[in-house]
Amino acid sequence: MLRLVYIATGGAIGAVARYSVSGWVQNFGQGTFPWGTLFVNTAGSLLIGLFFGLSELTSVSPAARLFFAVGFLGAFTTFSTYSLETLNLLRDKETMLAFVNIGLNNLLTLAFVFGGYLLSRYVVTFLK
């Protein structure tokens, strides 16, 4: 039961953070491209890469994993919003932007999760 509390608490904080950060970033964007969603998905990928790498090299409690990786990052990143925004771009005949959105979300999130993982390895090695 306590595990669900960790996940729910992290999820609530992550959802509010996603809403706030995504909206803030979107205000700086131009046109109809969903910059806010791209940002939270990319940032979340970097964070989970860092967290995963650090958790391999240091002691991270199961509670912290549930709170941060499952709860917070699970709610902070958003595949469903990315999918809906892509559908809306296609529906609005913004085909090029839809494919740019697909490409950037897939390439950047993979690159950032890998980069976060490598960065965590570097940080831990540097601190030793």
Instruction: Say if CB 80 and CB 16 are below 8 A apart.
Output: no
pTM: 0.88
The one-character DSSP state at 58 is: S
Q: Considering Cα of 68, then 82, then 26, then 12, what sign does the dihedral take?
A: negative
Q: Distance between CA atoms of 96 and 115, rounded to whole angstroms?
A: 27
Q: How confident is the model at residue 124 (pLDDT cuts 50, 70, 90)?
A: confident
**For 31, left (φ over 0), alpha (ψ -120 to 50), or beta?**
left
Percent of the chain predicted with pLDDT > 90: 85
Task: Render pLDDT for 59-74 as a digit per residue (tens, 0 to 9).
Answer: 899 999 999 999 999 9
**What domain range is 100 assigned to?**
2-127
Domain count, the chain: 1
Torsion, Cα of 86, 90, 95, 100 (10° steps)? 0
Alpha-carbon distance 18 to 82, whole Å? 13
CA 65, 68, 105: angle at the middle one, nearest 5?
A: 115
